[in-house]
Structure 1
Amino acid sequence: MRRDLSIILQMGLAFAFIFSAFNSQGLIEISVLRKLAEISPETGITEASGYYSLSIVYFVFTMSNLIVPTLVKKLGTKWSQVCGAFCYLIFMLTFLRLSVSLLYFGSGVLGFGAALLWTGNGGYLVEFSRNGKLPRNSGILWAMLQSSLITGAFFLIYVLRNGDLTSNYKMVYTVFAGVSCLGIICLALLPSYPPQFEQQFEEIVRSESQENLIDEARISEEDDGTIVESVRAERPSVFALLATQDMLCLSVTFLYTGFEMTFYTGVYTACLSATLALKSYSDLVIPYNALALGVGQIIGGVLTGPVLKRFNYTRSQIILMGMIGHVLAFFLCFLMLPFDSTIHPSDMITYASPTLCLTLLIAFLLGYSDACWQTQIYVVIGEMYKKDSVNAFAIYKFFQSMAACISFYYSATLLLHWQLLILTVGCFLSAIFFLRIEFKNEIRNNPPVVVDNENAEQQ
């Protein structure tokens, strides 16, 4: 196995650990806090605290993306990921002495850490991907990341077989904290700079853009300026990149990924927990759906990564598959889930009777479609902005987290059918703007051949 591939696998393992904790807690946070609001009012927790906590996470995430490109260049992409992952650990620990003020403080810390982690991750992935291997590596990373949903689901099933989430939440979050520590260790053991790739059956030429990325990562060792001064100096370049036509088009897609991420990571499972027609399955409906989400994410990551090249799928085709899957999932949610299940437990009559099989199908579609969007965004950014990948990934996470912040906030009061309408419209707009960029890239990379008719006739 080549050294660069083993590095990507190690990073994927680290993210699998970290997000087996965070993604799993995201699936249960809203429903657990709803129940704690009833039995432990002295903590200050309310029924909407789960939504507000996640909204704070993504609000701070959004604002932090304006400054983290400079911090990433100072710390390096590796240590930015380590510092960001440590913030995830702090958030898990706040649940061991839960109060509303500590919860919201931990949410803010997590938001800042998420900006560091994901911006560093995007830059690191581009740095350590050989020419032509970025689609493969992004697919592998995404599949390993989303395998965390499966491991987290099995853990939650074990907990629920021996009790309930509300009475065992401290034990659950203790385990989550321990697993996060394993992820931090894996990240800390990563190399800081790409290795000299060996010649194995072919000469591997490192592109000029990769050299530029390595030079950027070493700025932290050569620049004596303060971080504050660096942030001020870097800000114009971020806004200049954002003002380009291509980035503005991609921003529509970035926003949509934030809205749909909010839905499948928090709102959907909260609705399942509040649907009284599914109470016969108890809280097990959540980990079962987490399993389906994880399977969908992994299949989507594999099909859009290693399998992509073999079957000659284009990015446009992958995005269209993601769009169709999401629209179908939203329509099934409209038919099956009570409209007021986003706010409180409901036995409202629905167009279709809620069943476990139908919820699993929806979860699979949500996971698969999300993988289609996310992996192709990584590839597009990596190919279009090789020389400025840190700023590009920061802009991506800025818009994604801003949309997530807004949607988690309105999810506390907005009925389900209105949320599904927003998602459906956003899905179509996102696909249109993404395909527009793809069409431009195809023309740019494959310009039409101009034939000289006079010379052709003479010949």
Structure 2
Amino acid sequence: MSPTNLRTFNVVVLGIGFLFVFTAFTTCGNIEVRTGEKHSCCSSQCISSINLQATMISEHACIIVAVVGPQFTMIISGILYSGYIAVFINPSSWSFYLTSLLIGLGAAMLWTAQGHLLVENSDVSTINRNTGIFWAFLQCSMLFGNLYIYLAWTGKTEITDANRRILFIALLVISVLGTLSFLTLRRAWQREEALTEEEGQALLSARLLGTKTILLLSSCMAYSGLELSFYSGVFGTCIGATTQFGDSALGLIGLSGIVVGVGEIVGGGLFGLVCKNNRFRRTSVVFLGMVVHFVAFYLIFLNIPDDAPVVFYTSTQQKPYLTPRYVPIQPALKATFSNSKM
């Protein structure tokens, strides 16, 4: 295999591995409050996020990648992700806290190693293409697990222990398959060069941390983290607790995850092309995203009851400002098809 084809192969494998791992992890995050111990689940997300940031800032992730290599680092991280998912098969408070601490470390190592591998398998002419390939695989992870939730949970009013075990065993298998796929990565660079560059990146990152640009960007990144936590865990829980959706509420948790995933794929692809063609500046795209966020959060505020984020296992009884409505997709499609035939 030529070096060019080998690098492309590595990028595709990298994307497939992240597709499997994050299909399991994002699905888990979307439903964990409805299936685990409510207070432990929220605390575990906080612990993992704090540990992720601490590990990245302290440069431990870069050091680990430099010492053990990006491929082995991702395998270790995948094992930590799988361990976190396995906890939900038989949940307990102490296991939530322990695995949350470990997955924060795993996430820091995983994304550092991913960036290392993507750069090492790209050059100036292929970096945009390779980033697009990886992004496409990653964002598809929002679709498949949530599609199962929508199909399997629509009409259910309660998630039994048997339902939970079956779901999380399946997610565990998917995560393990994604982790094993990292074993097929082929080395397309010299080990000594990789180590030298990684050490240089660690020193450069430490110097950049206190610069004005990074300090300004850090506020945007902090907001991105809050927004990610909201749509990946809180929003689905709120939908599942809204009584106005009736028996469809639990299934709509999965549907909301699917729609978010479609939005990320379309938005990422569309604005990637817009920025590539220099029709808009990146700042214009960021400003547009801010406006869309304002509108989206205001609509959520109007349609979701005030007590939805805190009721967890019991459905909310308060009424929102607007009565949310849900039109079942399958009957609607059948009706549309029948009318078109007539």
1:241 aligns with 2:208: yes
297-306 or 251-260: bigger deviation:
297-306
Q: Aligned ranges for residues 203-214 of structure 1 at < 5 Å?
A: none
2:255 to 260, 281, 288: 288
**1:317 and 1:166 mapped to 2: Cα distance?**
47
Instruction: Give per-residue Cα distances to partners, 1:116-147, cap 9 Å, x unaligned.
Output: 10111122222222204333333332221121
TM-score (norm 1): 0.63
1:267 aligns with 2:237: no
| Alignment check: 8 A CA contact 1:77 1:192 kept | no
**1:102 and 1:55 mapped to 2: Cα distance?**
15
303-312 or 246-255: bigger deviation:
303-312
Go from structure 1 to structure 2 and tell me whether the alpha carbon gap of 1:136 and 1:165 turns closer, same or farther (over 3 Å shift).
farther
Q: 1:292: how far off?
A: 0.6
In structure 2, the gaps of 5 or more residues are 328-342
Q: 1:17: how far off?
A: 0.3
* Residue aligning to 2:296: 329
Go from structure 1 to structure 2 and tell me whether the alpha carbon gap of 1:282 and 1:335 turns closer, same or farther (over 3 Å shift).
closer
Q: 1:77: how far off?
A: 2.2
* Residue aligning to 2:194: 217
* Residue aligning to 2:144: 151
In structure 1, the gaps of 5 or more residues are 34-44, 195-210, 224-229, 358-459
| Alignment check: 8 A CA contact 1:139 1:306 kept | no
* Residue aligning to 2:331: none
| Alignment check: 8 A CA contact 1:136 1:305 kept | no
Q: 1:235: how far off?
A: 7.6
* Residue aligning to 1:69: 62
**1:5 and 1:309 mapped to 2: Cα distance?**
21
Q: 1:313: how far off?
A: 4.2
C-alpha RMSD of matched pairs (Å): 2.7
Q: Which of these two proteins has the greater Rg computed from alpha carbons? A: 1
Go from structure 1 to structure 2 and tell me whether the alpha carbon gap of 1:70 and 1:351 turns closer, same or farther (over 3 Å shift).
same
Q: 1:3: how far off?
A: 4.1
Q: 1:287: how far off?
A: 0.9
| Alignment check: 8 A CA contact 2:30 2:233 kept | yes
Instruction: Give per-residue Cα distances to partners, 1:386-407, cap 9 Å, x unaligned.
Output: xxxxxxxxxxxxxxxxxxxxxx
**1:181 and 1:243 mapped to 2: Cα distance?**
38
| Alignment check: 8 A CA contact 1:153 1:291 kept | yes
Instruction: Give per-residue Cα distances to partners, 1:15-52, cap 9 Å, x unaligned.
Output: 1100100000100001222xxxxxxxxxxx4x322211
1:175 aligns with 2:165: no
Q: Letter of the 1:124 partner, please give it.
A: L
* Residue aligning to 1:355: 325
**1:338 and 1:216 mapped to 2: Cα distance?**
55
**1:77 and 1:151 mapped to 2: Cα distance?**
27
| Alignment check: 8 A CA contact 2:12 2:134 kept | yes
1:166 aligns with 2:166: no
Q: 1:325: how far off?
A: 1.9
**1:157 and 1:32 mapped to 2: Cα distance?**
15
* Residue aligning to 2:179: 184
Q: 1:316: how far off?
A: 2.5
Give the total of aligned pairs.
317
Q: Letter of the 1:174 partner, please give it.
A: I
* Residue aligning to 1:316: 283
**1:132 and 1:347 mapped to 2: Cα distance?**
56
Q: Aligned ranges for residues 46-445 of structure 1 at < 5 Å?
A: 47-65=38-56, 66=58, 67-160=60-153, 165-167=159-161, 168-194=163-189, 215=192, 217-219=194-196, 238-305=205-272, 308-310=275-277, 312-344=279-311, 345-356=315-326
* Residue aligning to 2:25: 22
Go from structure 1 to structure 2 and tell me whether the alpha carbon gap of 1:79 and 1:306 turns closer, same or farther (over 3 Å shift).
farther
| Alignment check: 8 A CA contact 1:159 1:165 kept | no
| Alignment check: 8 A CA contact 1:242 1:248 kept | yes
Q: Letter of the 1:26 partner, please give it.
A: G
Instruction: Give per-residue Cα distances to partners, 1:370-416, cap 9 Å, x unaligned.
Output: xxxxxxxxxxxxxxxxxxxxxxxxxxxxxxxxxxxxxxxxxxxxxxx
TM-score (norm 2): 0.84
